[in-house]
Amino acid sequence: MTPRPRPHLILPLLFVFAFPSPASADEGQWPPEALATLGEARWGELSSRGLELTARDLWDGEGGGLLSAVVGLSGCTGALVSEEGLFLTNHHCAFSAIQLASTPEKNYLRDGFVARTRAEEVEARGGAGQVRVLSRLLDVTDRVRGPKSAFAKAKTDTARYDAVERAKKEIVAECEKTPDRRCAVAAFEDGRTFRLMEQVEFRDVRLVYAPPRGVGDFGGEEDNFRWPRHAGDFSILRVYVSPDGKPAPHSRENVPYRPKRWLKVAPKGVAEGDVVMIAGYPGRTQRYLTPSAVRNLEKWFYPLRSRTFSELIAILEAEGKKDPDTALRVASAVRSYGNGETNARGQIEGLARNGVAARAEVEAKELAEFLAARKDLPVEWAAAPAELERVLAADRAVQDRRFFLEEIERLGSYLGSALSSVRRAEERRKPDLEREAGYQDRDLDRARQREKDLTRSIAPSAAREALAHLVAKAQAAAGGSPVLAFDEAFGKGAAADAIAAKLAAMDAATALADEKVRLANVDATAAALAASDDPYVKLAVALHPDLAALRAARKETDGALLVWRPRYLSALEALRRSKGRAIYPDANSTLRVSFATVKGYSPREAVTFTPRTSLKGVLEKERGAEPFETPKKVLDAARAADFGPWADPLLGSVPVGFLTDGDTTGGNSGSPAMNGRGEVVGLNFDRVWENVAGDFGWSPERSRNVNVDLRYALWMMDRVDGAGALLKELLPER
């Protein structure tokens, strides 16, 4: 599943085309342009395993190839699979869209959803409400940090940060002059290079098919990051465009999108030993960290995240038990926090089990000896480890306070809405290109949509209790410098119960329960907000200076990292080259493809997991209660062995999931798993427990990703829901 945003000091990203493939055949997440550089030996090896495609078949350099059918969602991936705009993604990627479309009377989250005609398809909002198709990649390093750039002339770390951000925004603004484009400039090689990613954005997306939660989330957090797995983590949506074929906002007059490329669905699935490709938008891997950075994640960040998310889950679930509508409204947040909490525990265990910090210490010692011996290398490289450590140590001094304040900003609450409006108003005082990312004019539509979505997702009592908890934690973490705005609003040293009581009074007095008021605030001036009597707006105005100070400190840190991380990487690169070891690209939310094999693993002595599961396992796990509560119609078909053509001969049942040794991470949720012909056989949705810490290193023994077998989805559509028209669209040649 997709982890939540990672801590600020995740170290920057790596992108090196010229290096050979690593010794482990399936290691690495390869950018489209890098595929052609893997070499004849690598492609020959893949061909011998059953790959029938070439690098150019996957990506032709002009925005074409099979990879152009892989779409980006918010924090997830999808795959176009029909000539009329259908795309597949995970149920958990569409979760918020399903929730926002649901009511207590029509609970699609609980019961599932099937559109039997185009007219029945429901508007998708939330993270699945926009999809992006990659159209162009372009190196823009010279403009961002070349010798004539503002970065090269800057004298302070903050000025360097601002110079890079300004250059990126200028490039994006030029790119987005082309209609319907959503562009981004991504950093590679720890900020040594930058590339423009141009995407076509589609804004009318509709829900077509979603299994009941008892299928899509079967096993819940108990099975999360575990194997064997039996979740039917899939959903189907459709992209719509205006009648002239251009992207457009949701409208009844819109028609299905007809993409240039889409992926075929393979009805026969996979077998153990098959080669597969996993394509998507993986978020972050961190395979070149300093020892102190690893220790900070293992000992501070992940433990704090685990505790905090556990506490928030308990609060939200307690409120949800009081009222069905509240339970529906908090479902997405509970699921998100649950995934993040489980992930955090897995990271702690994996970092310790894999000895990541110890390995980083060994390499740091090797690097120091290497730099001391190599006087021919730039002096800046020799200085980089110590300078980088200085920057990181200074940043950690404020990390506790920042953690809780940032969680408060992210919380779906009236205060979160007010904070966003106040920050937007302050940014609006500046020229558009000088505003913070996310607060430019290009971001206004998204800001308005978030306020509309909040109307359907906020449960005031739950948000109040969660906010009170986070405020109390923030004050305790602040140490000698408490947040004065909170002291004034709630009293010094106030406990969570007292804070919640005051928040209840604020809820009674606020106008932010009215969507029209919140939408007006999106466009309000700083002066108008400062003059507001609304209690949440007043608190947001008072809190803004503290948050602005944290952001200013972050700019200074990031500016310093833009200097020292590339130098550190250059030194590390030279060390590894001297030992004949490859450095390959870290993930950075740009399009990648991983090669893999369907295979099981042995997590510990005397335990061996085979790589495929089936409906037999669903029946074995079934308890009749969450998280193992399968809908009756699914149980009836499974118990009757009503498998149709979807049974696997070796399994004697309908396949549900399969493992591969793919190199994946958060953001790969919904990534199509393709066979050697480029046909979709499954959707990536998770990793095994032993691979939760795989962001820090790939292992041939432990690195396994979990995929839902598409034959399970096809069986559900065919034998359970009778969605014949949808099945025919997915398999027109059947």
Torsion angle of C-alpha atoms 585, 590, 595, 598, degrees rounded to 10: 120
Q: Does any domain span residue 79?
A: yes
Over residues 213-238, the mean pLDDT reads 97
Domain that holds residue 630: 71-129+203-286+591-730
Q: The tokens of 36 are what?
A: 């052609």
Q: How far apart are alpha carbons 523 and 378 in whole angstroms? A: 50
296 and 313: one domain?
yes
Q: What CATH number does the domain containing 266 carry? A: 2.40.10.10
Task: Quote the pLDDT of residue 480.
Answer: 61
Q: Does any domain span residue 315?
A: yes
Over residues 683-700, the mean pLDDT reads 95
Task: Quote the pLDDT of residue 9.
Answer: 34
Handedness of CA 697, 698, 704, 710 (dihedral sign): positive
Active site residue 92: yes
558 and 451: one domain?
yes
Boundary of a domain, candidates 519, 546, 562: 562
Q: Does any domain span residue 306?
A: yes
Identify the three-state secondary structure at position 42. Answer: helix
Active site residue 578: no
Identify the three-state secondary structure at position 87. Answer: strand
385 and 482: one domain?
yes
DSSP 651: T
Q: Does any domain span residue 544?
A: yes
Task: Quote the pLDDT of residue 583.
Answer: 77
367 and 492: one domain?
yes
Q: Who contacts 577 (Cβ-Cβ below 8 Å, separation ≥6)?
A: none
Q: 183 pLDDT exceeds 70?
A: yes
665 and 550: one domain?
no
DSSP 253-272: T-EE---S--PPBPTT---T
Active site residue 233: yes
Q: Does any domain span residue 511?
A: yes
Under 8 Å between Cβ of 190 and 566? yes
Q: How far apart are alpha carbons 333 and 416 in whole angstroms? A: 14
Q: Name the residue with tokens 């290497």.
A: 370
Q: How many helices (H) and strands (E) would you count in the chain?
A: 27, 20
357 and 254: one domain?
no
Q: How far apart are alpha carbons 440 and 432 in whole angstroms? A: 6
Strand intervals (E) in 149-272: 181-188, 193-202, 204-210, 235-241, 255-256
Model confidence pLDDT, tens digit, residues 517-570: 999 999 999 999 999 999 999 999 999 999 999 999 999 999 999 999 999 999
Task: Quote the pLDDT of residue 6.
Answer: 36
Q: 156 pLDDT exceeds 50?
A: yes
Q: Does any domain span residue 451?
A: yes
Model confidence pLDDT, tens digit, residues 18-42: 444 444 468 999 999 889 988 899 9
Task: Quote the pLDDT of residue 479.
Answer: 59
Q: The tokens of 679 are what?
A: 């046909």
Q: What does pLDDT average to over the chain? A: 94
Q: Does any domain span residue 305?
A: yes
Among the listed residues 157, 233, 395, 661, the single catalytic one is: 233
Over residues 418-430, the mean pLDDT reads 97
392 and 433: one domain?
yes
Among the listed residues 235, 421, 570, 669, the single catalytic one is: 669
End-to-end CA distance of the chain: 32
Domain count, the chain: 2
295 and 280: one domain?
no
384 and 501: one domain?
yes
Boundary of a domain, candidates 541, 562, 583: 562
Task: Quote the pLDDT of residue 25.
Answer: 63
Model confidence pLDDT, tens digit, residues 360-400: 999 999 999 999 999 999 999 999 999 999 999 999 988 99
519 and 602: one domain?
no
Task: Quote the pLDDT of residue 553.
Answer: 95
Task: Quote the pLDDT of residue 3.
Answer: 42
345 and 477: one domain?
yes
Model confidence pLDDT, tens digit, residues 694-704: 999 999 999 99
Confidence of residue 585 (pLDDT cuts 50, 70, 90): confident
Q: Name the residue with tokens 């997991």.
A: 609
488 and 602: one domain?
no
Confidence of residue 581 (pLDDT cuts 50, 70, 90): confident
Among the listed residues 92, 230, 469, 544, the single catalytic one is: 92
Q: Does any domain span residue 24?
A: no
Percentage of the chain lying above the pLDDT 70 cut: 96
